[in-house]
């Protein structure tokens, strides 16, 4: 079978094998119908280029749950290590801040910034936004419970009256630092609605391949790219027949090879583009998929999709947005690191140890892990042989110096990919950069 590590937009399913740099080979043991997306896994609603291709190519989409108010926020340094519900932290923090601002507003301390008429409107807004009572206080009661949830939910029959819960104190929330994770739900790129392809992210690649399959040469390891004033020639090795060298020539070349790999390939481009190719490091990222005997996060914790965040090295747990409320097994994204010490440490481990660590850490959030875990797979992107990293990791300084040079047409070669965009790590960046590259190339050909 085609080794999946040669691309980033791929899906691991039961029976798949993956060999990383260093030779460690994993065989995915997921049950039929279960999978993990080691690379891209979600599509924001404003990624119009990708969505347009999905529509044109018939790729079915389903909602991806980013925010789930019943998911968890966790820190080993707060609340005795006990995870807290997103809805509690969000509502209580919002409520306490609203009460403080209401007090200042009532005391007439905002005249220089807000007119008296607007202060009255502001008080009403704070009462609504912060779920304050008639005295503009954020307290235990039915008003706050309508937003944060109940200690005992409304029921039916005798004893069915709801019981509101006690809000968490403002000082406890501030010291917990859990409010910092709320940004992961509010960022533009993560706002509702997000999507995922039905059946796995590789459905997008398969749809493209169906349209242009006869034009694709698989198992081709490019070793050199040459150009002159008449055309471009790529030299490559057939990895299924090591040592077998071949070449392909064309008038022009749109090169989408990751810069981590391209910087190691002989390519005769000008100094500015060569410097740009060599200037961009790639982010370190690790993902771990874990299969469990049952969907305990739904059955026990009422978490249907969404993401829980933690200060543990796994950083987050993402629950599947598919097959809700069904019996049987399920796969969680049990670890997703991005740059920094956690990524480097996980990358240094053998795949089986990455899985073991993910289970150990995850059990601090979901104690069911230990009894329900069956098997897992772990992908460390810096050990992916044909990418050597997750995505271009630009800095503002590097962009100012190299970005435009990277995107220029150099002779008969133009580069494209997420690294040649302002949307690194997203499929949309790759698509938009490619459309821009071929548009400029087309205009140059016509002008020439």
Return all residues near 4 (Cβ < 8 A) that are at least 6 apart: 10, 11, 12, 16, 18, 38, 202
Instruction: Give the tokens for residue 31.
Output: 């049950």
What's the pLDDT at 213?
A: 84
Return all residues near 153 (Cβ < 8 A) that are at least 6 apart: 162
Tell me whether the omega of the peptide bond preceding residue 430 falls within 30 degrees of 0, making it cis: no
In terms of C-beta density within 10 A (0-12 exposed, 13-18 middle, 19 or more buried), how is residue 370 classed?
Answer: exposed
Q: What pairing do the DSSP bridges indicate for beta strands 72-74 and 306-310? A: parallel
* Residue reference for tokens 């291709």: 53
Residue 6 predicted with pLDDT over 70: no
Query: Between the CA atoms of 316, 317, 322 and 324, what dihedral angle is there, to the nearest 10 degrees?
Result: -130
* Number of residues that this document lists for the chain: 448
Residue 201 predicted with pLDDT over 70: yes
Mean pLDDT of the chain: 95
Q: Which of 288, 315, 282, 287 is nearest to 390 (CA)?
A: 282
Q: How far apart are CA 178 and CA 189, in angstroms?
A: 20
Phi, psi values for residue 157, rounded to 5°: 75, -160
Residue ranges and CATH numbers for the domains of the chain are 4-67+191-203+283-383 (3.90.660.10), 87-175 (1.20.1440.240), 217-280+394-447 (3.50.50.60)
The string of pLDDT tens digits covering residues 324-376 is: 999 999 999 999 999 999 999 999 999 999 999 999 999 999 999 999 999 99
Residue 379 predicted with pLDDT over 80: yes
Share of residues in the chain with pLDDT > 70 (%) = 99
DSSP state of 30: P
Q: How far apart are CA 266 and CA 120, in angstroms?
A: 69
> What is the CB-side half-sphere exposure of residue 314 using CA atoms within 13 A?
32
What's the pLDDT at 4?
A: 36
């Amino acid at each position: 079978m085609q080794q999946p590590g040669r691309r980033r937009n791929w899906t691991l399913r039961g029976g798949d094998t993956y060999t990383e740099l260093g030779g460690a080979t994993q065989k995915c043991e997921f049950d039929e119908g279960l999978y993990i997306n080691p690379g891209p896994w979600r599509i924001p609603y404003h990624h119009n280029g990708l969505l347009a291709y999905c529509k044109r190519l018939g790729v079915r989409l389903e909602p991806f749950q980013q925010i789930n108010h019943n998911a968890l926020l966790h820190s080993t340094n707060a609340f005795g290590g006990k995870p807290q519900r997103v809805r509690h932290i969000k509502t209580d923090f919002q409520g306490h801040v609203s009460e403080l601002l209401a007090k200042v507003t009532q005391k007439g301390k905002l005249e220089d910034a807000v007119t008296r008429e607007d202060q009255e409107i502001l008080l009403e807004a704070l009462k609504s936004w912060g779920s304050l009572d008639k005295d503009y206080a954020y307290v235990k009661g039915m008003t706050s419970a309508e937003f944060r949830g109940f200690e005992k939910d409304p029921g039916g029959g005798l004893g069915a009256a709801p019981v509101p819960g006690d809000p968490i104190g403002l000082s406890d929330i501030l010291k917990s630092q859990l409010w910092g994770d709320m940004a992961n739900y509010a960022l533009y790129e993560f706002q509702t609605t997000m999507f995922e392809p039905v059946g796995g992210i590789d459905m997008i690649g398969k749809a493209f391949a169906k349209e242009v399959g006869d034009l694709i040469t698989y198992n081709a390891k490019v070793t050199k790219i040459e150009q002159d004033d008449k055309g471009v020639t790529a030299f490559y090795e057939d990895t299924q027949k090591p040592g077998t060298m071949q070449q392909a020539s064309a008038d022009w070349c749109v090169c989408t090879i990751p810069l981590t790999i391209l910087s190691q390939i002989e390519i005769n481009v000008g100094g500015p583009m060569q410097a740009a190719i060599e200037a961009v490091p790639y982010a370190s990222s690790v993902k771990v998929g874990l299969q469990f005997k049952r969907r305990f996060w739904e059955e026990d914790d009422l978490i249907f999709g969404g993401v829980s965040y933690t200060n543990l090295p796994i950083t987050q747990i993402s629950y599947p947005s598919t097959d809700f409320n069904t019996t049987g097994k399920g796969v969680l994204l049990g670890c997703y690191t991005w740059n920094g010490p956690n990524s480097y440490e996980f990358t240094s481990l053998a795949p089986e140890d990455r899985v073991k660590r993910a289970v150990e850490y995850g059990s601090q959030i979901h104690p069911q892990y230990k009894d329900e875990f069956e098997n897992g797979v772990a992908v460390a992107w810096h050990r992916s042989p044909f990418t050597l990293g997750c995505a271009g990791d630009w800095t503002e300084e590097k962009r100012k110096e190299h970005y435009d040079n990277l995107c220029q047409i150099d002779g008969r070669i133009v580069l494209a990919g997420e690294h040649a965009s302002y949307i690194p790590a997203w499929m949309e960046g790759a698509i938009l950069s490619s459309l821009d590259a071929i548009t400029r190339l087309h205009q140059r050909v016509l002008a020439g």
